[in-house]
Amino acid sequence: MPSIYLLGLQSGLLFLLLCSSIKAQEPVKVPFEILKTGHIVVSVKVNDKGPYRLLFDTGAPVTLISSKVATEAKVIKPSLGFSLFGAGGQANIQSLEVGSLKTQNNSVIVMDHPTIKVMSKFFGPIEGIIGFSTYSRYKFAIDYKESSIVFAPNNYIPQDTIKAMMDRMMGNSKNRETLCSKGVWGFEVQKLETDIGDGLDIISVAPGSVIAKAGLIKGDRILSLNNIWTDSLEDLFYASSKSIANQQSKLQILRNNEIKTLVVIPANGI
């Protein structure tokens, strides 16, 4: 009796799993285990093998699996030579399943990472890391209190970090970047070399501009734009390059020792 009951329960679970992978656009809640070191461990199936325990690490640029998993899940041929830390280099995983969340086509690194090996000694086998190359493809919310992460696809396509890093090391990186405002605002700032305070001085405001209409005046000090601190010209240009013409932006300014918030819609134009 108990075994039939369990079987029923299992097929029920399987059915649930199938359903949730069909509704791939729905947010998916994945429970995690928290190690005594504060690390997040999720249970992951690789090409339908496993589950394996992997760290969820926002500080890791790439997803990484051990050579053991790579062999078992037929990610690489076992005969492939391992070099640095048992690294088989870059590989592609057809399917990576975290809870009921299934990700296709994952670029991973095969490596027996020494830190992971040390952790495995203390907390049982850990077979890799979920890094940026996987998690960036989702909007996610980490909740340590609930021990869960909620994932929803965001259509982001991550760069090939390893290639970008190799290019950088070989000196193939691009020229210096240009930061250019989105939209036309109508003000100018300055930062004197002796000025080490927060923010920038507004030295002119164009009459009739959107920023003049929002209430900015010469002599104000701009502290932030859309929550980004504007302590340097570079900061301000970065923040304005991230804003969107014809959409609301939020400025924090200092006037007569009082902090005010102005809402402005940068005008279309160049």
Partner 1 sequence: MLFIRNAWIAFFIALLPILSIDAADKALPIEIPFRVTKSSHLVVRAKINNKGPFNFILDTGAPVTFFAAEPGKSLGLVSDENGWCILDKFLLEGGLLSEKMRVKLETPFQLVGMNGMALGGLEMHGLIGYDLLAKHKIEIDVSKDLMIWTLLDFKPKAPLGVSGKNSGSGLDALGSFMKTIGAFTGKKQDLNPALRGSLGIIINPDSKPLAVLDVLKDSPGYKVNIQKGDLILKFNDSEVTSLDDLSKMYRSAPEGKKIQLEILRKKQVLALELTPGKGL
| Site for partner 1, residues 12 to 71, rule: CB under 8 A | 36-40, 55-62
Q: How far is CA 236 from CA 30, 195, 203, 231, 239, in A?
A: 38, 16, 14, 8, 5
Q: Cα–Cα distance between 53 and 44 in angstroms, integer?
A: 6
Query: Peptide bond preceding 51: is omega within 30 degrees of 0, i.e. cis?
Result: yes
Which CB, 49 or 182, lies closer to partner 1? 182
Q: Which of 23, 74, 163, 168 binds partner 1 (CB under 8 A)?
A: 168
Question: Taking phi first (over 0 means left), then psi (-120 to 50 degrees means alpha), and beta for anything else, what does residue 48 get?
Answer: left
Applying CB under 8 A, the span of 12-20, 67-75, 86-94, 140-148 interacting with partner 1 comes to 140-148
Q: Is 97 in the site for partner 1 (CB under 8 A)?
A: no
Which CB, 13 or 141, lies closer to partner 1? 141
Phi/psi at 244 (5° precision): -125, 130
Q: Which of 25, 77, 81, 171 binds partner 1 (CB under 8 A)?
A: 171
The footprint of partner 1 on residues 195-224 (CB under 8 A) is 204, 206-209
Which CB, 23 or 188, lies closer to partner 1? 188
Are residues 86 and 67 in contact, defined by beta-carbon separation less than 8 angstroms?
A: yes
Tokens representing 190 are 């300055």
The footprint of partner 1 on residues 225-244 (CB under 8 A) is 226-229, 231, 233-234, 236-238, 240, 242
Which CB, 10 or 115, lies closer to partner 1? 115
Tokens representing 4 are 């039939």
